[in-house]
Structure 1
Amino acid sequence: MTITLVCGSHRKNSQSLKVTKFLASILDKNGIETNIIDLGNKPLPVWDPGMWEKDSEIKKFWIGYSKGIAESDAFIFITPEYAGMASPALKNFFLYLTGGDISHKPGLIITVSSGMGGSYPNAELRMSSYKNTRIVYIPDHVIVRHVESILNAETPESKDDEYIRNRLTYVCKVLIEYAKAFTLIRSSGVIDIKTYPFGL
């Protein structure tokens, strides 16, 4: 099983990347192969309609960039809150995806805040990123608040640090079980993305 983690921060070596690496370590301990896409260190160009053309330069670029995405069994999207919104880099990433890339696969949303925020990106992604991608977000999500003060050492340094580590471990285990279950849906023969490529 492979799970792709998409770090949506625009910054290099961001706090979101710190959270992403911690999540990857949890998955690794559970025997899951991970694929990390860091939009801060490996940014995507702004999407343009050339993606609809078979032999365009941007289409060729995406084919190389997206290696491993379609083969993944589940996804974790990690986004900071920018002005009450999910990061533009992550929203741009969703524009590149086609119906077959992540459709009918479980997704977990992790939002990151330096303060007490972080709830709006979760609501935004649940509302607008699933339509054509057909990602299926699991009910659980985690908001990592006061991120600078946690996940900085091998062991927890506070009760809040311990709590968020335990919560992240829990949701990763839940996601793994969803990934196992969703293989039955995709292999059932009822999914028809060719006839119905777009959501309503």
Structure 2
Amino acid sequence: MRITLVCGSHRKNSQSLKVTKFLSTVLEKKEIETSILDLGGNPLPIWDPSMWEKKSDLKDLWNGFNQDLNKSDAYIFVTPEYAGMASPALKNFFLYLSGVDISHKPGLIVTVSSGMGGSYPNAELRMSSYKNTRIVYVPDHVIVRHVESLLNSENPETKDDEYIRNRLTYVANVLVEYAKAFVSIRSSGVIDIKTYPFGL
């Protein structure tokens, strides 16, 4: 099994990346292959309609960027809250995705806040990012609040730190089980992205 983790922060070495790496470690301990796509360290250009052309420089760039993305069985999207929204880098990333990249695979949303925020990006991603991508978000999500004080050492330093580690581990385990179950959906023969490439 393979899970791709997408870190949506614009910053290099961000707090969101810290959370992403923690989740990757949790999964690797379960002997699951992981891949981290850090949009801060490896940003995508702003999407434009040349992606709809048969051939374009932007499409060539995406095809290289996207080489292994659709090989994964599930996805974790980690985003900071910027002005009450999911990060522009992550929303831009979703514009690039087609119906075949991540469709009918489970996704987990993890949001990050330096304070008490973090709920709006979850609602935003659930509302709009699934339509053409066909990602299926699991019911659980995690909001990592006061992130600077959490996940800074190998072992938890406070009760809040211990709680968020346990919660992140729990949702990662849930995602793994969804990933196992969704294999039969994709192999059932009922999925027809060619005829119905866009959601309604």
Q: Which residue in the other structure is 1:188 paired with?
A: 188
CA distance in 1: counterparts of 2:155 and 2:99, whole angstroms? 41
State whether structure 2 residue 34 is matched by structure 1 residue 16. Answer: no
User: Secondary structure of 1:172's partner?
Assistant: helix
CA distance in 1: counterparts of 2:160 and 2:68, whole angstroms? 34
| Identity between Structure 1 and Structure 2 (%) | 80
- Per-residue CA distance 1:12-68 (angstroms, 9 max, x = gap): 000000000000000000111001100000000000011111210000000000121
Greater CA drift, 85-94 or 51-60: 51-60
Q: Which residue in the other structure is 1:67 paired with?
A: 67
User: Secondary structure of 1:175's partner?
Assistant: helix
Q: How does 1:143-162 map to 2 (within 5 A)?
A: 143-162=143-162
Letter in 2 for 1:139: P
Q: Gapped runs of 5+ residues in structure 2?
A: none
Normalising by structure 1, we get a TM-score of 1.00
CA distance in 2: counterparts of 1:139 and 1:95, whole angstroms? 23
Letter in 2 for 1:164: I
Report the alpha carbon displacement of residue 180 of structure 1 after superposing the two structures with TM: 0.2
CA distance in 2: counterparts of 1:66 and 1:21, whole angstroms? 20
Letter in 2 for 1:33: E
CA distance in 2: counterparts of 1:72 and 1:28, whole angstroms? 14
User: Secondary structure of 2:71's partner?
Assistant: coil
Name segments (4+ residues, structure 1) moved above 4 Å. none
CA distance in 2: counterparts of 1:112 and 1:195, whole angstroms? 37
